Structure 1
Amino acid sequence: MKKLVIGIGNSFRRDDGVGLAVAEHIAALDLPGVSVMSSDGEPAAIIDAWDGVPTTVVVDAAVGEHTTCGQIRRWTPDEAAVSAATSSHAFGLPQAYALGRALGRMPGRLIVFTVDIADASLGTGFSGPVTASVASAVDAVLTELADGGA
């Protein structure tokens, strides 16, 4: 496997399922050399999946005081982490990154997209801005996959 897409979220917590929805769209494309994984954010599973993979793209929901519902943010470990938003999970991607780095179990290239959300309450279905962002997030992931590591 040359490339991996990991969608993180919980489809029973409204907007929080956006990462899973993006991953589902990518999986449906059946792209050669690309594996797709859905995750609840459990760090060990994420580390096991991305360890040694040349390119990994992660999509997760983000919440924060200065977020704008539906906004897509991109970051890499070499850049400053998203300052206004954090993962919507109490334990997940930030811990997976820290632990994976400490253990030397990282992908060659890691790109993270977060989608700002407004509603992580119990239930299904996305808010309007998050629904509208899914296609753009899919396009952003496809661009990274086609980029080849540039």
Structure 2
Amino acid sequence: MAVTSRSGATTPFSGVVFGCGHNNSGTFNANEMGLIGFGRGAISFVSQIGPSVGGRKFSLCLMPYNTDPRISSSLSIGSGSEVKGPGVITAQLVRTPDQTSYSLTLTGISVGKTLVPYSMSGPPAKGNAVLDTGTPPTLLPPRIVRTIGCRSSAAYPVEAR
């Protein structure tokens, strides 16, 4: 397998394990060919090539779907993948017993200037939110979804036509 960098250089990697699908279904369309794993597990793509590129680390910046096509998302793997500078916001990842996923502690979601707390009974559990770019929906407890809906309607009313 080989990977082409932003500079155009091609780096070959030997011994990388991956699989291919021949009859994929679900949210795939004719322009999408599959998924790539960036989890913490031993066979994730980042874990397999990490030793050759300066470490098992990566940064992924996904642009919104309706962004100008001349502006692209970016993926950096290995050394130099840290994103730093003015306006950069980061979230502290939390180690959980699940050795394959990334988690963080979600304390709440803001709607306008109002915070909708994740937990109504004390501090939220550490690692209560799993980050998975391969899962299309955002899964939240029903109470939070209802509260966000009510607060959004109040903060951003839509006039009847």
Shared fold, TM over 0.5: no
**Structure (1 or 2) with the larger CA radius of gyration:** 2
Name the one with the larger strand percent.
Answer: 1
Query: Which gives a bigger RCO, structure 1 or 2 (Cα 8 Å, sep 6+)?
Result: 1
Name the one with the larger helix percent.
Answer: 1
Band the TM-score falls in, shorter-chain normalisation: under 0.3
